[in-house]
Amino acid sequence: MCLGIPGQVVEVKGKVARVDFWGVCKDVKLDILEVDVVAGDYIVNHAGYAIRRIAPADVLDTLATYEVVLSESGEDPILAELSCELELETV
């Protein structure tokens, strides 16, 4: 199963955003996103690409849902995906 990861945009440089995922920052490509994002916005990341900007009214509910998933899963799927992506970047 693939899981998109929500994160907060820290800065935007062209078509790349620096995004904070629960304290882990990484670059995310904005090429396929159809709306502009700015620092402070939240996005959903999948495979290194922002696939959706989270509406401000939905941010708290979205983050709460992910917190439930993480706490009930017995493992951390976000950490697993980030670890995999970080390994691919170093190859």
pLDDT in tens, 5-56: 899 999 999 999 999 988 889 999 999 999 999 999 999 999 899 999 999 9
β-partners of residue 18 are 11, 27
The pLDDT of residue 71 is 73
Written as six digits, the tokens of 69 are 């998933």
Residue count (the chain): 91
Note the pTM of the prediction, 2 decimals. 0.76
Instruction: Say which residue, 51 or 85, is predicted with more confidence.
Output: 51
Q: Please give the average per-residue pLDDT across 67-71, as a whole number.
A: 76
As to burial, measured by CB atoms within 10 angstroms (0-12 exposed, 13-18 middle, 19+ buried), residue 57 is: exposed
Number of domains in the chain: 1
- Residue 62 belongs to what domain range? 5-90
> What pLDDT does residue 70 have?
72
Residue 31, domain CATH: 2.30.30.140
Between helix 77-90 and helix 59-73 the angle, nearest 10°, is 90
pLDDT for 88 beyond 60 = no
